[in-house]
Structure 1
Amino acid sequence: MAVSAQRPDDLRREPVLPPGFSLVALRESGDAFAHACSIASEAGAATLVWTRRFDIIEFAVVLEPDNPLREARLAHYLAMNALADALAVHSPPERPILFRWPDALIYDLGLIGGGRLAWPQVCGEDEVPDWIVFGAMLRATTMTPFSPGDVGVGMAEEGFEEVDAVDLIEAFARHLMLGVTRWQSDGARATALRWLDRLDKIPGTRHGIEPNGDLVATTQAGTQRRSLVEALGRTDWLDRESGGPKL
């Protein structure tokens, strides 16, 4: 049975997170990403901030990298992988889950959510940042059926089985920890290549990720490099007025 929206009871229970995580829960009007950024330096690594919204699954996690900023930003790909894997756990079969450069999450050709990344403003590219915050949003429901040509989709309208924000957050945390383990054993490049496997690609274009996270697209006409920092600064998938993914 598909869900129609987050139920009140779903938001009363709290996520059971892996060891080492700490949870900060906000009321519906809270901004998980902004709050995580504001407390990151004091709260420390693996602090997860969750906003109890009914229409949007919204949370953010604090990370403490060991690498200089230019390399630490690759954590964006690590967290996006975990977000997509968490969604895939509960997804109906044979529905594509893709990334649109660099931070949008596409489900069955419609925008369902995305990620954001922040770091201290006073931090040089060759300095190790005290913290990095990854923020995520997934649309629980659009309140309307998806029609061809729409930009956004919601979990309820896309045939997900009974699943709520807590389920998704728990799955994200588990996949994030798995991703960190892989990063430590295989390196950041392997994480970026795994992200590329889900990129919504253009036929005839070969893609690669530079050591600083930039995207390189090569065609017969030549090579184009796209800045990760600039793209993250735009957050094109986010509707600033509604505070959720674009519809």
Structure 2
Amino acid sequence: MTVSAKTDPAVLVLPPAFTGVTVPATEDAFTQARARAEADAGEAAGTLVIVERTDLLDLAVILAPGEPLASARRAFLLGMVALIDAVGAYGPPEMPITLIWPGTLMFDGARLGGGRLAWPEECAEDAEPDWLVFSATLIVSKAQWGDPGLTPGSTALDEEGFGRDIRLALIESFARNLMKAFATWEEDGFSGLAARYLAHLPAAVGARAGIDGNGDAVLERDGATERLALAPNLDEPAWRDPATGMVRL
């Protein structure tokens, strides 16, 4: 799995594999990245789309997978690990970052955001897709949506002790961590990255846990095996409010 393009220093300080592209607040990164990938996957690989909003961190990156779709979807789990690492690097260290399978990111027990994955609709499971799009959304501030106390199920970066103007730093950190994750996958295999993901999944506590070759989580406890399917849970992520297109408050 590779990403390849050139950095746009006018937007962000990104690893050489990425080109940063900003889009207006009226757009969403997931849709914009999919459109660019569908138009020209070869040229678009490595594009990091960032929406110019102050209340949300909304980004998406176009990836060029090098294996069949069924196993390439594990890139989603790498994206979540990179997102966790970025948030953890800038947030209060004592606050736990956990996951609800597969892509809801919880900060200190409240929903902060999550990730999504897209791939070509016509691609067969055993075929190599031309592209993948990993997208992530985090709530930066709930101020414009009224009293945060009325939406205790969710939280925001500005409520959790993150510094001001944290968006760009988080995006840069995410890009660096994503590149490291893919390098680790290529050099050392997937098992270490799977363990890092599972360490943040409370559903795996007390179980012998692993990630299958198709990205499913397999949990064994008390002689019983539970499988958490990846692909069916990527179409419409649980953290996203379909009415607003944003993180559920």
TM-score (norm 2): 0.88
For 1:214, the aligned partner's letter is D
- Conservation of the 8 A alpha-carbon contact between 1:113 and 1:237: yes
> Is 1:70 the equivalent of 2:86?
no
Task: Report the counterpart of residue 209 of structure 1 in structure 2.
Answer: 211
- In 1, the alpha carbon distance for the partners of 2:205 and 2:16 equals 43
- In 2, the alpha carbon distance for the partners of 1:149 and 1:221 equals 39
Shift of 1:27: 0.4
- In 1, the alpha carbon distance for the partners of 2:200 and 2:87 equals 13
Task: Report the counterpart of residue 90 of structure 1 in structure 2.
Answer: 90
- In 2, the alpha carbon distance for the partners of 1:205 and 1:180 equals 26
Task: Report the counterpart of residue 177 of structure 1 in structure 2.
Answer: 179
Task: Report the counterpart of residue 170 of structure 2 in structure 1.
Answer: 168
Q: In the TM superposition, what are the counterparts of 1:70-219 in structure 2 within 5 Å?
A: 70-143=70-143, 147=149, 150-201=152-203, 203-219=205-221
Shift of 1:146: 5.5
Structure 1: stretches of 5+ with no match in the other structure: 1-12
- Conservation of the 8 A alpha-carbon contact between 1:86 and 1:171: yes
Shift of 1:203: 4.9
Give a deviation string over 1:68-95, Cα, whole Å, max 9, x none. 1111000001111101111111101211
The percent identity for this pair of structures is 40
Shift of 1:196: 0.6
- In 1, the alpha carbon distance for the partners of 2:169 and 2:60 equals 15
- In 2, the alpha carbon distance for the partners of 1:186 and 1:15 equals 29
Aligned length: 235
Output the aligned Cα RMSD: 1.9
- In 2, the alpha carbon distance for the partners of 1:245 and 1:227 equals 22
- In 1, the alpha carbon distance for the partners of 2:125 and 2:142 equals 39
SS in 2 for 1:35: helix
Task: Report the counterpart of residue 230 of structure 1 in structure 2.
Answer: 232
Q: Choose between structure 1 and 2 for higher RCO, CA contacts under 8 A separated by at least 6 residues.
A: 1
SS in 2 for 1:201: helix
The 10-residue stretch of structure 1 (193-202 or 42-51) with the greater mean CA deviation from structure 2: 193-202
- In 2, the alpha carbon distance for the partners of 1:83 and 1:163 equals 17
Are residues 149 and 140 of structure 1, via their aligned partners in 2, closer, same or farther at CA, if it must alter by over 3 Å?
closer
- Conservation of the 8 A alpha-carbon contact between 2:198 and 2:204: no
Task: Report the counterpart of residue 5 of structure 2 in structure 1.
Answer: none
> Is 1:46 the equivalent of 2:46?
yes
TM-score (norm 1): 0.89
